[in-house]
Chains A and B, each alone.
Chain A
């Protein structure tokens, strides 16, 4: 399968790899996927007092398209409010990376990771 230049770029130079302290109340964690399915994404967002995402980091087990999808969303998330972040759709990711149909699930997983990270962050805030 031929990969798009953007997938190759993110795969070869992944942005924002890593994690934040899970215990930090300003951090939301989204872990989606399953090893048995061949991909697992872990997304961390660090949210400021103003409700704006300051930084995002990822670690991904999966194919090149899954790695590229998660790397891309860490770039997109920075500077977005949670409401804006929720607006990121898998189709935007798939279009940006020119994913073939068989790889669309990678972009779906990335969207799920964003939603899971936001939900986790809000749950933490509510618990405080």
Chain B
């Protein structure tokens, strides 16, 4: 049996073989604890960790001293938001974020609400982007932190960090950015960007799972309270023995990402454009999220009158994900697509395609053919498609909601 075509790079990426090769020696020969100061095993591991720290910093235009290792972007988001909010709780207890953030941000915010903080959740514009004016209007005298993601995981739209961060700076409010989906896809220069805290993940950028980092600005110095206490690693911000092999992997992955970003970007764009052109030949398809302010690796499309899970079932040889309720236990369609103000049925009909470093043109051709064939097949089965062909406006029909 041949393996399915992988078009779900936004979920995770395979580890680049060059990365895996770099990691292996640190599991055995070079196994030292980077915190061991008394022998060469420790010194060797420490050197590897610091070299990786520099590689991660370099991709983001940061100073290596501003990088704190974590277990991934979820931990980084928790540490940044909870850590900053708790540290500054006497200054104010109001936080601002967006309804389309990742759950690692939204659930952290919910948790802080239980600790007595108040959170404003701003909806995006219909294209997925945050309206800076609306953002500026959400500030209160007691606002201490705002968190807005760089690249959205479902629809791939890129928020204007310079504009949003500038608004925070002008009000002396900390700005956190979840950049898990951005690394290697868009250039990040923290030296010039008005960002105080930024979360990174390795496994979305051809590194291993289980490792991430948090950027904590030094000038002006950003203070956060630790969530994990222990040996005082990472200048007290995140205790725990460093996972040298994972860190080395993340460093190498980010080095490659920086060096190959331009090439990766052009390849992704060509593949995405090919897929978009093929699928746009079908009637009643809609791209979710802005097509310009967007990473080319992501194509999120709704195929009207076809339910997303049934479409995925039909194309089981292609690995993608859907905003359909049926793919989640909650029976709610994607909250990100709903936040765009699209009708629920378009959220149910959505498929996220995400391409990456190892996607080929042949993959795209095969996927496009499969989608096209099965959308037609499922529309032949769909009473909504019949009604559409008869000219019935489905939004005017009285449905028995269940």
Contact = CB atoms under 8 A, between A and B. Distances in A.
A80 interface: no
Nearest to A34: B399
A11 B331 contact: no
A42 B402 CA distance: 15
Contacts of B386: 19, 59
Interface string B386-402: 10000000100001111
Contacts of B383: 31, 40-42, 59-61
A63 B343 contact: no
Contact of B307 (A59, A63, A108): A63
Nearest to A43: B383
Nearest to B326: A63
Contacts of B16: none
A83 interface: no
B310 A34 contact: no
A67 B307 CA distance: 10
Contact of A33 (B344, B394, B399): B399
B401 to A, nearest CB: 5
B390 to A, nearest CB: 11
A38 interface: yes
Contacts of A33: 399-400, 402
A39 B383 CA distance: 10
Contacts of A38: 307, 324-326, 331, 333, 344-345, 348
A109 interface: yes
A36 B324 contact: no
Contacts of B400: 32-34
A17 B307 contact: no
B25 to A, nearest CB: 39
Q: Is the interface of B mostly helix, strand, loop or mixed?
A: helix
Interface string B305-341: 1110110011000000000111101010100000000
A37 B305 CA distance: 12
Contacts of A59: 381-383, 386
B161 interface: no
Contact of B382 (A11, A61, A65, A102): A61
B384 interface: yes
B380 interface: yes
A64 B307 CA distance: 9
Interface in A79-108: 102, 105, 108
A40 B307 CA distance: 10
A72 to B, nearest CB: 14
B401 A40 contact: no
Contacts of B381: 14, 17, 59-61, 67
Nearest to A32: B400
A62 interface: yes
B399 A35 contact: yes
A62 B310 contact: yes
Contacts of B348: 35-36, 38
Interface string A40-80: 11100000000000000001111111110000000000000
B307 A34 contact: no
Contacts of B401: 34, 36-37
Most buried by A among B305, B343, B344, B382: B382
Contact of A63 (B305, B324, B345, B394): B324
A63 B329 contact: no
A11 B345 contact: no
Contacts of A108: 402
Interface in B362-384: 380-384
Interface in B289-315: 305-307, 309-310, 313-314
Contacts of A11: 310, 313-314
Contact of B380 (A17, A41, A112): A17
B306 A61 contact: yes
Contacts of B331: 38, 102, 105
Contact of A35 (B313, B327, B380, B394): B394
A11 B312 CA distance: 12
Contacts of A105: 331, 402
A39 B307 CA distance: 8
B199 to A, nearest CB: 30
Nearest to A17: B381
Interface of A: 1, 3, 11, 14, 17, 19, 31-42, 59-67, 102, 105, 108-109, 112
9 contacts: A17-B381, A34-B400, A34-B401, A35-B343, A38-B344, A60-B381, A60-B383, A108-B402, A109-B402
